[in-house]
Amino acid sequence: MPIAQDSMEAIRAVTAPLESGPAPSPALIRAHGLSKTYATGSGQVPALAGIDFEIYDGEFVSVVGQSGCGKSTLLKLLAGLLPFTAGSVELNGKPLRGPTREAAVVFQSPVLLPWRTVLDNVMLPIEFRKLPKAMYRQSAVNLLAMVGLSEFAQRYPFELSGGMQQRVAIARALVQDPRLLLMDEPFGALDAMTRDQMNLELIRIWSHSSKTVIFITHSIAEAVFLSDRVIAMTPRPGTIADIITIELPRPRDLSVINTDRFGRYAARLRSLLDARGGLL
Amino acid sequence: MAVEALEARPCAIAAENAPGMLRRYPQFTISPAILLALLAAWWLATDVLGVPTYVLPRPQDVLRALLGGLSRPPWDKASYWYHAGITLWEAVLGFAIGSALGALLGLVLSHWPILGKSWYPYIVGFQSLPKVALAPLMVVWFGFGLEGKVFITAIITFFPVLVNMMAGYQAVEPERIELARSCNASELHLFTKIIIPSCLPFLFAGLGVASVLSILGAVVGEFVGASAGLGMLLMQFTQAMEIAQLFAVILLLAVIGFLMNHVVSLVERRYCFWAQRSNATART
């Protein structure tokens, strides 16, 4: 354990008052006792056990954990793509039953349809949801402008770089105007430089769009940099080790990574993941 | 590793120095040269070395037979156009029916796994049967007319399309389906906007094979009994020992097969242009 006892105390001094602070706004998501067990050939495999959290409107919350800790499972449960085994989830006060328009997913890979132009890819959720295309076309164009891809609207995905493709995927998620954006390691496949750039871009988009974001990642630095709060998970079965509030001032730029406070948050998260996971 | 690198170097340099035209467009430079060499060898074998013409006709005789057969108007029954038209019609009809059924059934059997699994042993069994063995039966069932040839062509073209369509369905990226589900897509939309377009590259691979096989089906159908068509001409010329004419018809069949395949790749380039380029970049 690389963390000295006194620095742990210092982190607590920073985080403790914030954790007990009042909720900024009513909860958009309320998960209670959320559990998922996969039935496989060799028996029951628990992936998530007894997850409790509340996420407030407009918050940016990251979920970090080692691979296999069930963080992707958690995202699929929240997206309504997987049925949960026990517990309950409320989205905007209503129990979650399957996918809804309120929650949009950004997957690990961009999942763009190669036979559609960039603009038609962004319009896909509108077609699937049978919403009036003419009405949403302008917002699709605006979203492409927001992610900086206006001049690529009529291009095809294979003409775009990996980072650009993932920006199209973000525009596609936003086109149905969801309240919640569920992101499953969306920048995991990108190189480090592009990834930093995409993180800055994401913060900018998030601050402009007033969406709530749940962001799955295995990068502690990414989680601290982006988030209002970070949920640290233990593996097999996934449970919540702790939820850390990140009190770094916004707007943030990349220089915040080199500050002491950032380092202390990262160290605290690393110790949480270490202590319970046993692996580095 | 080091040895390989040393050995690879001079080769790479030599290739760089090769004339640009040859390296860039071998299909317009080297390919015609190969054709010329083959024709010269053919001419040498017959005119100079004296291979008997009933074994290998002289190239100029084959050309004369070809021009003779093609110079008559299409309604003349001695014209190659007439017979080529009939064979092509049989092949195209059989191809259309066989590949449409293959594509449809491929989707159905893949989408409902119970159907797919229960039919699979029979499909494998029927596929391992040499389909041309059914050709004589076609004469019994349908007589000497068009139907028998269309039927055998349809059976032959059915399988490559079916098998490729099933492979295409299996290869649909699960994330694409998850994306559709996350947007509450209907089953119909899932099919028309995700699954069928995703299967297109596989479908076209099957259609390419089927397009060539369709000529085979029509010709075999004509072998066992027909009153017209290039396959029937082949039988006639063989019996009359008209070897130059026989060669001319074989050449014609090769051209028709090539054209059928070319049409399929043109359609593929139009509707599936994204597939090849996407494989390189879009799959991250």
Residues of A in contact with B181 (CB under 8 A): 81, 99
Residues of A in contact with B277 (CB under 8 A): 156, 158
- Domain extent listing, chain A: 5-102+178-277, 112-177
pLDDT digit string, tens, across residues A149-173: 889 989 999 999 888 898 899 899 9
Could A114 and B184 be called an inter-chain contact, meaning their C-beta atoms sit closer than 8 Å? no
Say what the pLDDT of residue B178 is: 92
Residues of B in contact with A189 (CB under 8 A): 284
- The tokens 């994306």 sit on which residue? B179
Could B175 and A101 be called an inter-chain contact, meaning their C-beta atoms sit closer than 8 Å? no
Task: Indicate the pLDDT class of residue B279, thresholds 50, 70 and 90.
Answer: low
Say what the pLDDT of residue B21 is: 73
Beta strands in chain A (DSSP E): 27-40, 43-56, 60-64, 86-91, 94-95, 103-106, 180-184, 212-217, 229-234, 239-245
Q: Which residue has the higher pLDDT, B145 or A6?
A: B145
pLDDT digit string, tens, across residues B47-99: 888 888 888 898 889 999 999 888 888 888 888 999 999 999 999 999 999 99
The amino acid that residue A105 corresponds to is: V
Could A81 and B178 be called an inter-chain contact, meaning their C-beta atoms sit closer than 8 Å? yes
The answer to whether the beta carbons of residues A106 and A181 sit under 8 Å apart is yes
Nearest CA to A264 out of A60, A12, A21 is that of A12
Task: Indicate the pLDDT class of residue B278, thresholds 50, 70 and 90.
Answer: low
What is the CA angle A126-A90-A249, rounded to 5?
85
Q: Rounded to a whole number, what is the distance in Å from the CA of A111 to chain B's nearest CA?
A: 6
Per residue of chain A (280 residues), give pLDDT as tens.
444 444 444 444 444 444 444 445 578 888 888 888 888 878 888 888 888 888 888 899 999 988 777 888 889 988 889 888 888 888 888 888 889 888 899 998 999 999 999 999 999 999 998 988 888 999 899 888 888 888 998 999 999 988 889 889 989 999 988 889 999 988 887 888 888 888 888 888 888 878 899 999 988 888 888 888 989 888 778 888 788 888 888 888 888 888 888 888 888 888 888 754 444 4
Picking from A101, A110, A115, the nearest residue to B197 by CB comes out as: A115
Cα(B137)–Cα(B148) distance, rounded to whole angstroms? 9
pTM, to two decimals: 0.78
pLDDT digit string, tens, across residues A45-59: 888 888 888 888 889
Q: In the predicted model, is pLDDT for residue B105 greater than 60? A: yes
Using CA coordinates, name the residue in chain B closest to A184: B175
Say what the pLDDT of residue A67 is: 78
The answer to whether the beta carbons of residues B81 and B88 sit under 8 Å apart is no
Could B183 and A124 be called an inter-chain contact, meaning their C-beta atoms sit closer than 8 Å? yes
Q: What is the ipTM of this complex?
A: 0.81
Superfamily of domain covering A5-102+178-277: P-loop containing nucleotide triphosphate hydrolases (3.40.50.300)
Using CA coordinates, name the residue in chain B closest to A115: B274
The answer to whether the beta carbons of residues A233 and A240 sit under 8 Å apart is yes
A100 has a chain B CB within 8 A of its CB: yes
Picking from B181, B277, B284, the nearest residue to A162 by CB comes out as: B284
Say what the pLDDT of residue A18 is: 44
- Interface A-B, measured as beta-carbon pairs within 8 A, has a size of 76
Rg (C-alpha) for chain B, rounded Å, is 24
H helices, E strands: number in chain B: 14, 0
pLDDT digit string, tens, across residues A44-96: 888 888 888 888 888 999 999 887 778 888 899 888 898 888 888 888 888 88
Say what the pLDDT of residue B19 is: 65
A24 has a chain B CB within 8 A of its CB: no
Helix (H, G, I), strand (E, B) or coil at B22: helix
Residues 6+ apart with CB under 8 A from B176: A111, A113, B194, B198
Residues of B in contact with A98 (CB under 8 A): 184
First to last CA, chain A: 10
A156 has a chain B CB within 8 A of its CB: yes
pLDDT digit string, tens, across residues B16-59: 555 677 778 888 888 889 999 999 999 999 888 888 888 889 88
Count CB atoms within 10 A of the CB of residue A246.
Answer: 24
pLDDT digit string, tens, across residues B153-164: 999 999 999 999
Can you state the angle between helices A133-146 and A192-209, rounded to 10 degrees? 130
The DSSP secondary-structure symbol of B45 reads I
The answer to whether the beta carbons of residues A213 and A60 sit under 8 Å apart is yes
Residues of B in contact with A115 (CB under 8 A): 197, 200, 272, 274
B176 has a chain A CB within 8 A of its CB: yes
Q: Which domains does chain B have, with CATH numbers?
A: 66-281 (1.10.3720.10)
A110 has a chain B CB within 8 A of its CB: yes
pLDDT digit string, tens, across residues B207-233: 999 999 999 999 999 999 888 889 999
Say what the pLDDT of residue A191 is: 85
The pair of three-digit structure tokens given for residue A19, joined into one six-digit string: 């954790």
